[in-house]
């Protein structure tokens, strides 16, 4: 199960919705804690339990609606519940486990806890803090001891709970029969005002922001508002900060997906005040950076997947493959030399094959043309809407021919969005790719994208709840009974929605 990054956000609302612009990549957002799974929760008295239940009730009722995800409301309620639970004394065994966690994490945990405490006092951007607070080595001296407004221990305790629950999730996944289990996701960077940028000021480049040059889908380029590693200083540190980051991300998972893995070799950086199309590449020692990832994955006995999409030189993908790191191949960008869909036999094996990504509209939106309408409304097109719609229609026509050629759809007009989605995943099953990545949004018929690069306030990025084609909320418990989910699952295993043979057995991880 491949999940979004769980990186930690701001310690107080408002909480940034994007999992790809965290305050730190080293630690986990306590927003994801399941309150009922905390051991001390079960030792609350009746009055405390009633208060926690009252905090949860409105959030649970909202789950059944199609309303946008309100992380601020969720975190405010969970934070209060966690404050209540923290009053319960730890048993001797639990106290020793907590102290063991603190010793293992060392200075990194201390930096995170201190930053959180100062962020609660001065705001979540260290660049606006008073002078002493901006220095990680002097910051602890200015914090008054005691009181809820200066409680770094609270934030360390939250990370211990998150670490426990991540370990439990991976054990449960493997006990249920998953060979790999949970595959985490590592963002490209972190917020320039966040904890990582504060603690690693000497390892980052100020005045530059990581992004991506223009491509066919993001025609204006992208600026991700994240400072890049300083290549010389990172090299002087022996790339240890990068290796430590990978090790932490792999501690409780069977794999790790590295977003924009090309960043281990080079990063497109944009000077402050410039547009994304006026950037340049900042290069790194790719041998050391890739070795840090491959080495930590091998040490953990885990899978490493690099998201090598976009403007990526062929040698980068080859180098990753030679280092034992899977790439990512996306159906919409997989083409033959003449621009037609890449035949299944021509796909690479050493990759995870997907239909789209979290930055692309769901498959159903491509079928209906809604993806063009939305981008035109948001002003993201560099060509007239009709030209873009004509290009999208031609691409659909090519895919209709390719799917019919593989007998995944009948000859004739394209089928509806659901049947079209199933056929696309059936196409992936015919490729030699080591893994297939299924988007949950595709599998339930959702048409709205989770994230539209190049937008901020224009679109509710990362706030779209999972809904079906009719706009009804879909809960985890609903998934096994949804016909489209079952059809997509069958298609990825056999190439056919009904389970008929397409010459392929169930997908299994290559033991090499």
Q: How many helices (H) and strands (E) does the chain have?
A: 15, 12
Instruction: Provide mean pLDDT across the span 224-231.
Output: 94
CB atoms < 10 A from the CB of 312, how many? 19
Residue 463 lies in a domain: yes
Domain check: are 352 and 255 in the same one? Answer: no
Closest C-alpha to 427, from 344, 357, 507, 352: 344
Closest C-alpha to 81, from 55, 42, 61: 55
Residue 508 lies in a domain: no
Domain check: are 306 and 215 in the same one? Answer: yes
Pairwise pLDDT comparison (407 vs 313), residue with the higher score:
407
Domain check: are 335 and 379 in the same one? Answer: yes
Domain check: are 271 and 335 in the same one? Answer: no
Contacts of 144 (CB under 8 A, 6+ apart): 150
Domain check: are 262 and 406 in the same one? Answer: no
| Residue 222: per-residue pLDDT | 85
Residue 111, pLDDT > 90, answer yes
Closest C-alpha to 349, from 315, 386, 321, 389: 321
Strand ranges in 242-374 using DSSP code E only, listed in sequence order: 255-258, 266-271, 280-283, 303-306, 327-330, 351-354
Model confidence over 39-54: pLDDT tens digits?
Answer: 999 999 999 999 999 9
| Residue 508: per-residue pLDDT | 41
Distance between CA atoms of 323 and 293, rounded to whole angstroms?
A: 9
Residue 443 lies in a domain: yes
Residue 244 lies in a domain: yes
Residue 243 lies in a domain: yes
- To the nearest whole number, what is the mean pLDDT of the chain? 92
Number of domains in the chain: 3
Closest C-alpha to 203, from 169, 241, 171, 168: 241
Residue 74, pLDDT > 80, answer yes
Strand ranges in 318-406 using DSSP code E only, listed in sequence order: 327-330, 351-354
Residue 195 lies in a domain: no
Q: What range does the domain containing 230 cover?
A: 200-286+298-324
Q: Is the peptide bond before 225 cis (omega within 30 degrees of 0)?
A: no
**Residue 273 C-beta-side C-alpha neighbours within 13 Å:** 1
Instruction: Provide mean pLDDT across the span 381-399.
Output: 93
Domain check: are 269 and 332 in the same one? Answer: no
**In the numeric block, which tokens belong to residue 423?**
């056929």
| Residue 510: per-residue pLDDT | 40
Residue 511 lies in a domain: no
| Residue 312: per-residue pLDDT | 85
| Residue 149: per-residue pLDDT | 54
Residue 499, pLDDT > 70, answer no
- The pLDDT > 70 percentage for the chain reads 95
**In the numeric block, which tokens belong to residue 42?**
């079960």
**Cβ atoms 160, 98 nearer than 8 A:** yes
CA distances 145 to 114, 117, 150, 153, 310, Å, are 12, 11, 6, 11, 49
| Residue 145: per-residue pLDDT | 54
**DSSP single-letter state for residue 479:** G
Task: Indicate yes or no: pTM above 0.75.
Answer: yes
Q: E strand or H helix at 9, and its extent?
A: none
Domain check: are 334 and 320 in the same one? Answer: no
| Residue 141: per-residue pLDDT | 74
Which residues lie across from 329 on neighbouring strands?
Answer: 353
Instruction: Provide mean pLDDT across the span 217-238.
Output: 89
Model confidence over 254-297: pLDDT tens digits?
Answer: 999 999 999 999 999 999 999 998 999 999 999 999 999 999 99
Domain check: are 234 and 367 in the same one? Answer: no
Domain check: are 396 and 414 in the same one? Answer: yes
Model confidence over 406-451: pLDDT tens digits?
Answer: 999 999 999 999 999 999 999 999 999 999 999 999 999 999 999 9
Domain check: are 54 and 173 in the same one? Answer: yes
**In the numeric block, which tokens belong to residue 120?**
């609660």
The pLDDT-based confidence of 453 (bands split at 50, 70, 90) is confident
Residue 194 lies in a domain: no
Residue 310, pLDDT > 90, answer no
Of the three residues 112, 146, 180, the one that is the final residue of a domain is: 180
Instruction: Provide mean pLDDT across the span 121-149.
Output: 81
| Residue 387: per-residue pLDDT | 94
Cα 151 versus chain centre, distance:
29
Domain check: are 39 and 172 in the same one? Answer: yes
Domain check: are 144 and 51 in the same one? Answer: yes
């Amino acid at each position: 199960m491949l999940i979004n990054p769980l990186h930690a956000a701001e310690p107080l609302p408002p909480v940034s919705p994007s999992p790809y612009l965290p305050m730190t990549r080293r630690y986990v957002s306590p927003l994801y804690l399941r309150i009922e799974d905390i051991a001390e929760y079960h030792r609350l008295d009746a009055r405390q339990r009633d208060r926690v239940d009252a905090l949860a009730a409105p959030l649970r009722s909202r789950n059944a609606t199609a309303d946008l995800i309100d992380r601020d409301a969720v975190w405010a309620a969970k934070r209060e519940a966690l404050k209540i639970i923290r009053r319960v004394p730890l048993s001797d065994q639990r106290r020793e486990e907590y102290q063991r966690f603190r010793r293992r994490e060392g200075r990194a945990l201390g930096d995170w806890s201190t930053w959180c405490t100062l962020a609660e006092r001065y705001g979540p951007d260290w660049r606006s803090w008073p002078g002493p607070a901006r220095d990680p080595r002097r910051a602890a001296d200015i914090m008054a001891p005691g009181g809820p407004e200066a409680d770094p221990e609270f934030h360390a305790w939250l990370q211990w709970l998150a670490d426990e629950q991540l370990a439990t999730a991976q054990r449960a996944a493997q006990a249920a029969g998953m060979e790999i289990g949970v595959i985490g996701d590592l963002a490209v960077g972190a917020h320039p005002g966040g904890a990582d940028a504060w603690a690693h000021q000497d390892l980052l480049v100020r005045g530059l922001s990581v992004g991506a040059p223009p491509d066919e889908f993001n025609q204006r380029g992208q600026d991700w508002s994240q400072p890049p590693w300083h290549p010389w200083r990172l090299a002087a540190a022996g790339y240890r900060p990068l290796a430590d980051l990978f090790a932490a991300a792999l501690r409780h998972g069977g794999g790790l997906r590295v977003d924009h893995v090309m960043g281990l070799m080079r990063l497109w950086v944009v000077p402050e005040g410039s547009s994304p199309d006026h950037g340049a590449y900042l290069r790194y020692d790719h041998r050391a950076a890739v070795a840090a990832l491959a080495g930590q994955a091998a040490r953990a006995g885990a899978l490493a997947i690099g998201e090598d999409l976009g403007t990526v030189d062929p040698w980068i993908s080859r180098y990753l493959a030679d280092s034992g790191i899977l790439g990512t191949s996306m159906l919409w960008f997989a083409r033959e030399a003449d621009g037609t869909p890449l035949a299944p036999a021509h796909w690479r094996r050493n990759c995870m094959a997907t239909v789209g990504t979290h930055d692309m509209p769901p498959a159903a939106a491509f079928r209906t043309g809604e993806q063009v309408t939305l981008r035109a409304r948001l002003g993201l097109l560099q060509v007239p809407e009709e030209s873009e719609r004509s290009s999208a229609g031609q691409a659909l026509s090519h895919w209709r021919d390719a799917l019919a050629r593989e007998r995944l759809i009948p000859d004739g007009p394209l089928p509806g969005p659901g049947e079209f989605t199933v056929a696309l995943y059936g196409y992936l099953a015919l490729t030699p790719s080591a893994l297939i990545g299924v988007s949950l949004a595709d599998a339930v018929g959702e048409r709205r994208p989770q994230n539209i690069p190049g937008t901020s306030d224009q679109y509710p990025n990362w706030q779209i709840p999972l809904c079906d084609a009719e706009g009804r909320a879909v809960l985890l418990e609903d998934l096994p009974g949804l016909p489209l989910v079952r059809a997509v699952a069958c298609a990825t295993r056999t190439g056919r929605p009904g389970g008929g043979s397409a010459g392929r057995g169930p997908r299994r991880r290559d033991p090499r």
